[in-house]
Amino acid sequence: MNIAVVGTGYVGLVSGVCFSEFGFNVKCIDNNVSKIEELKKGIVPIYEKELDKLMSKNMKAGRLSFTSDMAEGVRDADIVFIAVGTPSKPDGSANLNYVYGAVDELAPHMNNDAILMIKSTVPVGTTRAVKRFLLDKGFDIEVAFNPEFLREGAAIEDFMRPDRIILGVESKKAEEALKRAYRPLFVLSIPIVFTGVETAELSKYAANAFLAMKITFINEVANLCENCGADVQEVAYAIGLDKRIGEQFLQVGPGYGGSCFPKDTSALNDFAKNFGVDMPLVEETIRSNDARREKMIQKIMSVCDNDVKNKNISILGVTFKANTDDMRDSPSICIVNHLIEKGANVKIYDPSFSEQAKRIFKNVEWNGNAYDNCNGADVVVILTDWAEFRAINLADLRCRVKTPLLVDLRSIYTVHEAKASGFTYHSVGRPFLNG
Ligand SMILES: NC(=O)c1ccc[n+]([C@@H]2O[C@H](COP(=O)([O-])OP(=O)(O)OC[C@H]3O[C@@H](n4cnc5c(N)ncnc54)[C@H](O)[C@@H]3O)[C@@H](O)[C@H]2O)c1
């Protein structure tokens, strides 16, 4: 089977590489010519565990190639996946220009028997609208929808062993083609759910909104803990043991960010209104998550007596979560920029050495490890829960800082550990124990 994937971002590149690992012939297409040139040399443009090895293995096997020529990329494909971005417009709705741009470009070159599979996250109604768009241009191409649920940082594992595959199809022909494409997972007894296209489209948004609500909920519980004497870590553990709730997405922090939850909650809220439906829970999740960032800024400022001018602030982690270099909508952006605006000397260490972060934060000092980043610091702030920050030798760190103040916005240390190493420790959701 020949597969084409349009868009080589976090989703497209991982999908293309994994489909080639299944044994299919895959062509990955992107209109970013310099990205394609790098990929052809085997250079992976994103931070994703094991992706480089799997990519070069399949390139060497002759199953995986890259091109910026759409015609060459889609000509022989049995299935063309679209994995281009669907960012937010300023009004919160989904920007579908990249999807329609790609469809417009590929349609004249695609084999009419092939299936066009939208993998980008798109509002309910888009798959049918794309079908109509193609018909209006004289192309009778089968269009289906396959939401992607992979998590950055665990993307290959999630693609290879997902909890489920959702396939929104309107014909037996599309169903059969997709059964073939996902057969390697079918054999592993991964549930493959065929639905109508609207159900598949909404399933993606409903899943992301639910997870965003879960994160927001525990952050609100953390606010209460700070005022009532409870410990949010223990509350999260206690409720997470209930199978109806589950332990995942109950980690406190500076609020959700990244390329999906913020834009997908906004888009859901927007297109629900177009169907005449209000979603107050989703609206409140968006509002509460925005307020969370402001609250984190206030927490850091109050630890610094509301004056950070000329203070040395060591930031540990800036990506929106661990194990990715993705900075899209990371809570760190407004937090760090606020500190810079108020005159702080900001030093940053992030284990991904994110190029995106370097483009965002100007006039900061970058360091190659957490210890050097903390030399002479007036305050150390943990913003992202990278595993290596859990294993920092706090006693060693204590010797390097000017003032032993640690603000841990992920609450990754126990209060006892932090205090024992001589730090005054401010975490979230555990106020009365703080040093
Ligand atoms: N990032 C995630 O973790 C994730 C997870 C699940 C679903 N999604 C969804 O998948 C989609 C893609 O997300 P992403 O994070 O991979 O995006 P991305 O921004 O990382 O990558 C998109 C790529 O598409 C390319 N592109 C745009 N227009 C093109 C065209 N006309 N022809 C060829 N290439 C084109 C861009 O150059 C870019 O390389 C989005 O809809 C997103 O919501 C993302």
Res 3 pLDDT > 50: yes
Going across the sheet that includes 25-29, the strands are 64-67, 25-29, 2-6, 79-82, 115-118, 142-145, 165-168, 192-195
Give the mean pLDDT of 75-85: 98
List alpha helices for 321-383, DSSP H: 331-341, 355-360, 370-373
- What is the best residue among 259, 324, 328 to mutate for testing ligand 1's pocket, by most ligand atoms within 8 Å of CB? 259
pLDDT surpasses 60 at 433: no
Architecture in CATH for domain 197-435: 3-Layer(aba) Sandwich (3.40)
What mean pLDDT comes out for the span 342-352? 98
Cα dihedral 332/352/324/79 (nearest 10): 130
Which pTM does this prediction carry? 0.96
| Residue 434 pLDDT exceeds 50 | no
Strands (E), 46-196: 64-67, 79-82, 115-118, 142-145, 165-168, 192-195
Please report the atom of ligand 1 found closest to the CA of residue 12. 16
DSSP character for 417?
A: H
Q: What is the pLDDT of residue 112?
A: 86
Q: CATH number of the domain at 2-195, please?
A: 3.40.50.720
Confidence of residue 435 (pLDDT cuts 50, 70, 90): very low
Pocket mutation for ligand 1, best pick of 17, 18, 84 (most atoms within 8 Å of C-beta): 84
Residue type, 8: T
Q: Considering the chain, what is the average pLDDT of its residues? A: 96
- Start-end of CATH 3.40.50.720 domains in the chain: 2-195, 197-435
The one-letter amino acid at 196? G
Please work out whether the CB of residue 74 comes within 6 Å of at least one atom of ligand 1: no
SS3 content of the chain, % helix, strand, coil (to 5): 45, 15, 40
